[in-house]
Structure 1
């Protein structure tokens, strides 16, 4: 057990690195964590930082944070890189960097797509970020999403010149703003003339494409759908080329009940998505003969991503029926259903299912919850979901980035939408075991 005395702050030794920069000062984000560090992220040997957590409290993670004046980095691309090792606990670690202006965040990047888990390291991770000209402060650090201990070595911040292949910020905005106006679910929330006058200004013709992202984020913030997002070219390419689960799929037999945990899946790679689907449906098929009392479907860690591999992997439980729909701002409805996977032909569509949800159930995770929402013999347990039960559509940007724009609401089989999130019929406090509550309900059914 760690001993806490408020937020831990280490003023690393009063030393200077070989290039005469002051040692990096690290600050903890929680009374449940301890942060220590030494060295300088701008020095040739980099910095070292350690973060220990006995809990995340009411938040989804704890962190170690440092900051720098952004002046020397404006209009440049910066790279934060280091070697991560999680030595204790079940937490997943990542590094991140953020560019802040006078009115808030202008840019952000993290390595969360490739988390480092216990006994996997040391693993090298890096993030890249363009620093907009309006940036006043850079903040960066490491996060841990559960109990554990992470160490980061050789953490260095470097910079390089920006290349935009002749595409200007003006080109980007002139392309993206009409799409937002024509397609966004909440386009009516934006004062069109005022916003576009501010965003399309003459100096943008002399700024690189990267400068458009912070301005576009302001427009997306004005939409207030909380789901639209931007991917810069490297992120968009990685999303196309990979599909990474936020954690492993889990399954087990609880005497006469089958338990399956479905994680998030970030990325659109077809091969990786098919592998995810096959593993999910095979785990269900394996447990089916002994799961006479029904199923617990745990979506509490399903943070979203690509809904289709998840949906298809659960076909045995969903059956060959419309599972949900998307409704755009004009009221047009597009229905969707799961598809069967070869080798997973067991029909469990009439089996009772207890669905576990919570605040981390988000986006495509909520799509899966919606698919089960009006299913016969199904009850929900846990806490209200994130409130992102909306559909995003990708629009490629001129520089190779991607605008993922919220264009519709998700509907369940009965046509109900969930703008405030999905509230379970059985609210289970965080300090109570939702799995046991769900199991008791299942066993009471027969």
Structure 2
């Protein structure tokens, strides 16, 4: 999505690891505001329904006395709110902390959360996927996250004869691609979902080297990046009100896979794609650029609803379902 960033201001949903930089020459406050508004008008999914003259007038009034680009940020945040979605943002990266942890304290306490996993009774592999922030100087974290997830799946493979639990209940957002690429052998055949905007739809599929939405194809043109003996075993997907943005995208990608079922409660309702653009002062403008569809093409409007609604801990009914699916294997 490291700095404190909420799910709503997650800078990397559905995007490559680095934000786009459409125009580095916007150093004055006036030009900076114009360029940011141009980006919003060109890429926002609601662009055909917005009164752009009114938005531009209001933003220019709010930023009229700005002496620096930083003094326009409040006005631009108001413009983002005026877009009418709940997912766009203006993110201001903070300087990276170079200081090392004091001797004897065991490393960097601010290290990003990584996936976790363990074998559960009944020949089940359990995976927990936390949020993942990869902008603001943290681009290398995405590869670390993917590698950790691959290693966990490989280590749990022999213990997952009856299936997998993918726990997204604490996944508040970030960059979806390391998550999907790490889960690759569990996803089944693509497409795993779609971004749908004014310019058409982009499928989430396997290319020759990775899963992305940039292949231009709606069928897989590559193979899974690695194999699992139990990659086709049933998958239980756990999500709830703290599952947001990229967490929702991973749930969407697993939904519709053969032998999958979701458990929990409604998600946080950030089921849109945000496209990040880097401005001249390093700020990142996240533009809600498209809606999302399931792998069967069904458009998603609002929060995700689990197939099995659960009051309380969703893990227990998920394990019961996996056990029933395993009977006779």
TM-score surpassing 0.5?
yes
1:248 Cα shift?
3.6
Structure 1: tracts of 5 or more residues without a match:
1-109, 115-164, 239-243
The equivalences for 1:239-250 within 5 A come to 247-250=113-116
Contact 1:245 1:263 in 2 (8 A): no
Q: Distance in 1 between matches of 2:66 and 2:88?
A: 27
**Greater C-alpha Rg:** 1
* Number of the residue aligned with 2:245: 363
Q: What is the aligned residue count?
A: 277
Structure 2: tracts of 5 or more residues without a match:
7-24, 98-109, 211-222
TM-score when normalising by structure 1:
0.57
Q: Distance in 2 between matches of 1:202 and 1:250?
A: 46
RMSD after superposition: 2.7
* Number of the residue aligned with 2:174: 305
1:443 Cα shift?
0.8
* Number of the residue aligned with 2:204: 336
* Number of the residue aligned with 2:154: 285
* Number of the residue aligned with 1:87: none
The structure with the greater share of residues assigned to strand is 1
Q: Distance in 2 between matches of 1:284 and 1:222?
A: 43
The structure with the greater share of residues assigned to helix is 2
Q: Distance in 1 between matches of 2:227 and 2:88?
A: 36
* Number of the residue aligned with 1:171: 31
Q: Distance in 2 between matches of 1:304 and 1:415?
A: 23
* Number of the residue aligned with 1:420: 302
1:433 Cα shift?
2.0
* Number of the residue aligned with 2:134: 267
Higher alpha-carbon deviation: 217-226 or 293-302: 217-226
Secondary structure at the aligned position of 1:265 is classed as: coil
Structure showing greater relative contact order (alpha-carbon pairs closer than 8 Å, 6 or more residues apart): 2
* Number of the residue aligned with 1:112: 4
Contact 1:390 1:409 in 2 (8 A): yes
Contact 2:114 2:148 in 1 (8 A): no
1:187 Cα shift?
2.4
1:272 Cα shift?
2.3
Q: Distance in 2 between matches of 1:402 and 1:361?
A: 23
With over 3 angstroms needed to count, the CA separation of the structure-2 counterparts of 1:418 and 1:206, relative to structure 1, is closer
Q: Distance in 2 between matches of 1:197 and 1:295?
A: 53
Q: Distance in 2 between matches of 1:348 and 1:323?
A: 19
